């Protein structure tokens, strides 16, 4: 990609970031308006009004000596004016802080919700191709970018604009020639800062990207720390992290050097400005007859303006960083939802539970051209039937269940439940009708009670315990010191594999959905637990449409029907006895698992 294309992309990303930041800001119009007024008022009173009154005092002192007994009489109005200016100015300052807090608190809340809703609504394809840690980091940086931008606008940008306007307005009537020179220097200064800003912006985005990648590498290693340790790969992961950390350091260094070059140049312009004002103040009275008080005002106003301009450089630096930090999440928010509900999508209503896969065509988005999982697959599962899906790895078993749950959308054909196209119904209503137990139990770092009742949060304690009993989980739960209140750890790491699976099965039992999907649900159980859970699953499947994905064929041997998939096609379909007698693909698999070939020798 050329530099020109990169710049265009960055400019577009910045525009969309600012649009999102503005959208949450304009939802608080009164607070936003107050922040502008208080910020401008604070500078106007404490910088300009204060200095103006002090200039009047200097001129009064210069005009004629004031007797000691007349100090109060002469200067009382000035002192009262200074006190009032400072009182109101300090009030504006505190209101300024309040409005900033309110903007940031409410804005971060809305932006966090936007990020979470977007990420939670994205497809599994989206999530499986990204680091979870990077997404968390991007969300955090996105909201931090908003906070930084609000701070810059209220505490730097608005005061700087106010200073420029007030300085020019105050000095033009008094020293027009000097004001013209000052404005010319300001124009050159701002133009230079703007050009440098456009050059540095891509560097800030690159820095943020490197930091997000570093967070992703760290998260990936920590999440899979058991694999790291059991494989003795600490050195490898350390080197991988070190490489990511070096990339982040290098990106930061490049950005820092560019900003330092800009800062040195802008500082030179400030020195030139102060040199000019010093000469003018020194000779102003002699050359132009300007009073001492007015010269104090000119010097103070100009000095304040140069300090504000000096802040422009750091202000643009903070804006660069804020927009760079927000850039990656902005791109994530811009990505279309791979699985999205239609605006008028109806709720799925399941009365019987019949499932139809009609002329299904599906390929993963990152697959090679022409490489499909399914091509014209058709399969009918009557309501209440218990169906096993078997076949070699990669035959499409799990993919079929994901399409049923609409974790991905089919490209061709339809998936129907009771004649309703699941792609036309809302995703939540679909998934509330299907209890799903995957091969790897999905547990939250919450209590066992919360994990079991996750799909039915209004369940009573008795119902939760009964579901745990049916899943053969109650016995081990009651042995734990905290019982149902035991925290299971991230992804359930505090429980054994079999215990995690039984908690997941208990969740499915409690959900009591009309359709049940078990994807290798008993694969992590020992023989004794498997027998007990199989009995519970038999009771659970009774009267429900059930799809059981299994490599262990003993799991599906007693089901009503077994469908054998190979290369995304149905190659056999029948009962266990029929398929064994047919001597085909299923019989071969059964023989290898049971040792039938050895017995036959």
Q: What is the mean pLDDT of the chain?
A: 81
Q: What is the DSSP letter of 69?
A: G
Tell me what pLDDT residue 100 has: 93
Task: Say what angle helices 132-152 and 292-334 make with each other, to 10 degrees.
Answer: 160
What pLDDT score was predicted for residue 8?
Answer: 40
pLDDT at 21 over 90: yes
**Residue 357 confidence (pLDDT) above 90:** yes
Q: What is the pLDDT of residue 236?
A: 81
3-class SS string, 530-582: HHHHHHHHHHHHCCCEEEEECCCHHHCCCCCEEEEEECCEEEEEECHHHHHHH
Indicate the SS3 state at residue 488.
coil
Residue 599 has pLDDT above 60, yes or no: no
Taking the CA of residue 295 as centre, how many other CA atoms within 13 Å lie in the half-sphere pointing to its CB?
17
> pLDDT class for 6, splitting at 50, 70, 90?
very low
In whole angstroms, give the CA distance from residue 511 to residue 516. Answer: 10
Q: What is the mean pLDDT of residues 567-584?
A: 90
Sheet containing 515-519, strands listed edge to edge, beginning at the edge strand earlier in sequence: 434-437, 515-519, 545-549, 386-390, 561-566, 569-574
CA distance linking residue 216 with residue 208, whole number of Å: 12
Structural domains in the chain?
A: 27-334 (1.20.1560.10), 348-433+514-596 (3.40.50.300), 440-512 (3.40.50.300)
End-to-end CA distance of the chain: 65
pLDDT digits (tens, 9 = 90+) for 157-209: 898 888 888 888 888 887 787 788 778 877 877 777 777 766 766 676 677 67
For residue 7, name the pLDDT band (cuts at 50, 70, 90).
Answer: very low
Tell whether the model's pLDDT for residue 47 goes beyond 60. Answer: yes
β 386-390/561-566 pair status: parallel
Supply the pLDDT for residue 443. Answer: 83
Q: Find the mean pLDDT for residues 472-479.
A: 87
Q: Are 193 and 312 spatial neighbours (Cβ–Cβ below 8 Å)?
A: yes
- Name the pLDDT band for 600 (thresholds 50, 70, 90): very low
596: pLDDT strictly greater than 60: no
The average pLDDT across 526-540 equals 69
Query: Between 176-223 and 292-334, two packed helices, what is the crossing angle to 10 degrees?
Result: 30
* pLDDT at res. 280: 65
DSSP string computed for 331-369? HHHHSPPSS---TTPPPP--SS--EEEEEEEE--TTSPT
Asked whether the beta carbons of 531 and 371 are under 8 A apart, the reply is no
For residue 312, give the nearest of 263, 261, 358 by alpha carbon.
Answer: 263
Residue 124 above 80 pLDDT? no
């Amino acid at each position: 990609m050329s530099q020109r294309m990169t710049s265009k992309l960055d400019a577009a990303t910045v525009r969309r970031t600012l649009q999102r930041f503005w959208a949450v800001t304009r939802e608080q119009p009164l607070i936003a308006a107050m922040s502008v007024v208080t910020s401008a008022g604070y500078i106007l009173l404490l910088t300009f009004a204060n200095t103006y009154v002090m200039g009047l005092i200097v001129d009064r002192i210069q005009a004629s000596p004031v007797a000691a007994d007349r100090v109060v009489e002469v200067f009382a109005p000035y002192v009262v004016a200074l006190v009032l200016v400072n009182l109101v100015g300090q009030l504006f300052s505190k209101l300024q802080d309040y409005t900033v807090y309110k903007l940031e608190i409410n804005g971060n809340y809305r932006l966090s919700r936007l990020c979470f809703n977007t990420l939670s609504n994205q497809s599994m394809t989206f999530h499986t191709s990204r680091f979870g840690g990077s997404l968390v980091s991007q969300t955090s940086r996105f909201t931090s970018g908003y906070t930084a931008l609000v701070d810059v606008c209220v505490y730097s940008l608005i005061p700087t604009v106010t200073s420029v306007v007030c300085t020019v307005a105050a000095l033009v009537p008094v020293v027009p020639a000097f004001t013209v020179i000052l404005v010319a220097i300001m124009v050159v200064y701002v133009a230079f800062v703007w050009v440098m800003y456009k050059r540095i912006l891509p560097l800030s985005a690159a820095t943020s990207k490197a930091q997000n990648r570093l967070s992703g590498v760290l998260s990936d290693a920590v999440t899979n720390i058991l694999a790291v340790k059991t494989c003795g790969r600490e050195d490898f992961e350390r080197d991988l992290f070190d490489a990511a950390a070096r990339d982040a350091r290098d990106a930061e260094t490049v950005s820092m050097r560019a900003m330092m070059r800009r800062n040195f140049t802008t500082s030179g312009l400030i020195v030139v400005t102060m040199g000019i004002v010093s000469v003018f103040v020194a000779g102003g009275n002699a050359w132009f007859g300007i009073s001492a008080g007015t010269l104090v005002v000119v010097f103070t106003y100009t000095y304040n303006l140069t300090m504000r301009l000096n802040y422009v450089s750091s202000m643009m630096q903070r804006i660069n960083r804020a927009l760079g930090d927000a850039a990656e999440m902005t791109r994530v928010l811009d990505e279309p939802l791979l699985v999205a509900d239609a605006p008028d999508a109806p709720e799925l209503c399941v009365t019987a539970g019949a499932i139809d896969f009609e002329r299904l065509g599906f390929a993963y988005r990152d697959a090679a051209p022409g490489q499909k999982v399914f091509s014209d697959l058709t399969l009918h599962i009557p309501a209440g039937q218990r169906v096993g899906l078997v076949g070699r790895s990669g035959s499409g078993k799990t993919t079929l269940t994901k399409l049923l749950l609409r974790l991905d959308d089919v490209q061709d054909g339809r998936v129907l439940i009771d004649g309703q196209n699941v792609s036309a119904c809302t995703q939540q209503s679909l998934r509330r009708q299907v209890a799903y137990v995957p091969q790897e139990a999905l547990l939250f770092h919450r209590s066992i009670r919360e994990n079991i009742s996750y799909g039915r949060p209004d369940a009573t304690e008795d119902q939760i315990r009964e579901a745990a009993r049916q899943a053969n989980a109650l016995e081990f739960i009651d042995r734990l010191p905290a019982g149902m209140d035991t925290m299971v750890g991230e992804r359930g790491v505090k429980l054994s594999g079999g215990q995690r699976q039984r908690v997941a099965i208990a969740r499915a039992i409690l959900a009591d959905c009309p359709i049940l999907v078990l994807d290798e649900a008993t694969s992590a159980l020992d023989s004794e637990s498997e027998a007990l859970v199989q009995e519970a699953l038999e009771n659970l499947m009774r009267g429900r449409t059930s799809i059981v994905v299994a490599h262990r064929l003993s799991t599906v041997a007693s089901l009503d029907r077994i469908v054998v998939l190979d290369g995304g096609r149905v190659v056999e379909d029948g009962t266990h006895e029929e398929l064994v007698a047919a001597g085909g693909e299923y019989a071969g698999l059964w023989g290898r698992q049971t040792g039938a070939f050895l017995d036959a020798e």
